[in-house]
Structure formats: C-alpha cells, structure tokens
Structure 1
C-alpha cells in the first residue's frame, strides 16, 4: 500500500499480512475442489449442464469456504457460465465466508461482462462484505472506471463507507484516481462527505499533495472550511505555501502544519 495511508489500509479492513501481499489477497485462493466448481471455473458449459440436468447436484452447493459455482465462475471471468447458472436459478446473492457476493467477486477480479450479466439479472450493487466494503469500493481501488459506471447506472450507493469511513469518492482521492473522481462527482457523490476523522476528500487531497486533485475538488465546490477531529481545515493541511485555498482564491500564503494531524 502507498505510504499515504501511514500504516493502515484505505479499506479499513486489511490485516498486515493482506496489506503486504501481492497481488491483493482477494485475487488469490480461488482454486476449486468440487467437480461443479472446477467445471464452472473452466467455463465447461457441457459438463455443468450435464451435472445439473442428470446428476444429483445442487446448483448452490458450497465448498468449505461457502463459495458457490457462481462465485467461481465470476472469479475466473466465465461470463457464459454465469449466464447458464442464473438460467438454472442459482442464488445470485449467495455469500462466501468473506460475505462476498458473486458481484463483489466479479468487481474484485475486474470481469466486466460478468458484472454486466449479474446487474442485469438483479444482483444487489450495494451488498457489503465482511470487511465493510461494497463492490464500488473495490472498483474504485482497481480504477476500473467502466465497471464503476455500470454499478452507478444500477444505483450503486456513492455514500457507502468503509470501516474507516471512506466513501468511494474519498477512496478515489486517496488513490489519486482523477477520472474516477470525475465520474463519481458526475453521479452526485457528496463532495463534502467525511470519514471517521471528519476528513473530507479535499483534506485528503491536501495531505497527499495532489495539486490537480485539489484544483478539481475546489472547482466542483468542495468546502475548504470543514474541520477534522483535530480542528484542522484543508487550509491547515496545505503543503504548498503558494497554493491558496478559499472561496475567492486570494493570494494569501498558507503554512504547512508543523505537527502530524
């Protein structure tokens, strides 16, 4: 993770082991054991159909981590398999051991066609996993703008918060994803939403020394007067002495805070 987070994850849930794992922990460990899960992972339509039509196999059967065939199909990007399993009336909202739905898994793995099929078949875009994250948080972190746009088109909540109170917009600012920030603002995300330390997106942009992000947020009406739990405003967090923060942008130098907030 970036040093910006000062020792903790932007998610508010990752353990030390997970923070230092490459690739991200949610991209690993999806190796199937049961026959139907193996077939779903490989996209073997014929085999899965045969098992469901003529075998004594439940389409919603789970492994020891509570993963269904739909989870495995989404994890491995098998969009045709996703459609088949839905045709066989699988549980689209089934949860694995991490409380992840198939939609959350598809967004984690950045499989847009799977996301599309799930949303069109009624998957809940606002489901929250065990780590207090929604599909939109993972999409923002992965910077998959097209998937984020799909989620938003199906009414994904722009104000849903992580354990640390990060909305998708705040997370996008923390990750310096400008195109994602623009998309979220176009979708009426609250520009002045606050995290658990009462820090807004603008305050985080100041702390990250992101001049372009600061300019964008100010242009879109971010409130520079909001104070965090330490009584510091975006002005207090400014790191460029020549960068001005006010509604009228007067030429008043802003000093960098002398102590960590």
Structure 2
C-alpha cells in the first residue's frame, strides 16, 4: 500500500513539474534579466532565440519593462532586435506612450525612429504628448510637437488636448509657459475648449496664470 501511495505521489509531482515548460522558464528568465538590467544576459538570450516581445503576466513586453525602469541601453538593445514599441500592456501602456508620459526624450526619439504609431492611445485615450504636457516635460513636448503629422490637438477621454492639460493641470511656471509656446508655435488650436467649451485662455485666467495668459492673448497679434 505504501508503495502504491509513493508511486501516486511521484506521478503528481511529475505532473506539476511538466506544467512549467522550457518556454515558460525561458520567458521568466529573460524578464528577470531585463528587470535586473543585465545587458549581456539579455543579449545572449536573444541571440539564443528568446522572443524579444516576451511579456509578463500584465502583458508588459520587455521593452516596456526597460522603459518603466528607465534603462536606456537595455531599450536600445531590445529595439535593435526588433522589439515592438507599440505593444500595449493590460493597462494600455506601451513603451512609446510611457516614454512620453515620463519625459524620457531619448527613448521617445528612438521609438519614433522605430515605428511609433500615433493612433495607439493610453487608458485615458491619450497620446504620448498629453501627459508630457501635464507633467512639464519640455524637451519631450518639443520632440513630439515638431514631429511631422503628430496629432498635436488630439483630445483624450477627459475632453482635453495637450494645451488644455498643460494649463488645467500645470502651475503656470516657466516649464508650462515654454510648453504652451511650443504647442502654439507648432500649430496647436487655442480655440478648442474642454467639454464645457472653456478654452485654455479662460482656464489660465481662472487660475491667474499671468504669463500664460499673455502668451495665449498674443497669438496671431
């Protein structure tokens, strides 16, 4: 009887081990290597055939993980091996969208040069530009706003453009003044209002953002 029980136990344990396939282990390993910023380890894994678009349990691909960790060299390596800059996680983040939102200008440039799409949006139906405007990332805004055909006046789920977000959620300081100037210089439509029809100028007046009021008032003068 004891022998029978032992055989059954071994069979159950063997079945559990079999559920973890070599592919699962390889995926887990390369995700760990990326998170540890182990450049050489990741390079070796990719050269050995690891999938450059491996995802974790939140559907975050390796490139998004590198971007989340601000690991620029890792991101460059992954892009060189064909990583998808537009692949979205469960929360709809992508490497390109997150790079814009977090002000990682070098990565924004890299992703633009490697197929970044302008019709892929985050969970707020926002572009890479809108959160960059909100958070005062001047150089990132400059890169995106000057990119040919970039949707500078895209409206997110809240009813805001990048310009509206810079005024409504910004504090009117120098960075936000510069962002407003960049957007206007690159064709942003200051007449677009929020869901209630309130324009950026009207919001600036309500918030007493003196310098931004001057900038917006002087448009087309």
TM-score (normalised: structure 1)? 0.67
Give the 5 Å matches for 1:185-204: 185-204=184-203
Distance 1:138 1:38, change over 3 A: farther
Return the TM-score normalized by structure 2. 0.79
Structure 2: distance between partners of 1:185 and 1:142: 18
- Give a deviation string over 1:54-87, Cα, whole Å, max 9, x none: 25x3211111111010001111122222221122
Q: In proportion to residue count, which structure has more helix?
A: 2
Whether 1:88 and 2:81 are equivalent positions in the alignment is: yes
Match in the other structure for 1:60: 53
Partner SS for 2:188: coil
Deviation at 1:92, TM superposition (A): 2.0
Higher Cα Rg, which structure: 2
**Residue matched to 1:51:** 45
Match for residue 142 of structure 2 among 134, 138, 149 = 149
Conserved 8 A contact 1:116-1:150: yes
In the alignment, the residues of structure 2 paired with residue 51 and residue 208 of structure 1 have an alpha-carbon distance, to the nearest angstrom, of: 53
Cα separation, 1, equivalents of 2:106 and 2:99: 9
Partners in 2 of 1:160 and 1:84 — Cα distance? Answer: 31
Root-mean-square deviation (Å): 1.9
Q: Please, which runs of 5 or more residues in structure 1 have no aligned partner?
A: 1-32, 223-261
How many pairs are equivalent? Answer: 189
CA distance in structure 2 between the aligned counterparts of 1:66 and 1:93, rounded to whole angstroms: 12
Q: Offset of 1:212 from its aligned partner?
A: 2.2
Q: CA deviation at 1:125?
A: 4.2
Match of 1:75 among 68, 77, 82: 68
Work out which of the residue numbers 25, 28, 34 in structure 2 matches 1:34: 28
CA separation of 1:153/1:122 partners in 2, compared to 1, >3 Å: closer, same or farther? farther
- Kept after mapping to 1: 8 A contact 2:67/2:95: yes
Does structure 1 residue 111 correspond to structure 2 residue 104? Answer: yes
Instruction: Return the alpha-carbon distance in structure 2 between the equivalents of residues 116 and 53 of structure 1.
Output: 25
8 Å contact from structure 2 (residues 100, 132) kept in 1: yes
The yes-or-no answer on 1:205 pairing with 2:204 is: yes
**CA distances 1:174-230 after superposition (whole Å, capped 9, x unpaired):** 2121111001001110011111111111111121122222222111149xxxxxxxx
Offset, 1:111: 1.9
Alpha-carbon distance in structure 2 between the residues aligned to 1:167 and 1:95: 22
CA contact (8 A) 1:103 1:125 kept: no
1:165 aligns with 2:159: yes
Match 2:92 to one of 89, 99, 103: 99
Q: Secondary structure at the match of 2:76?
A: helix
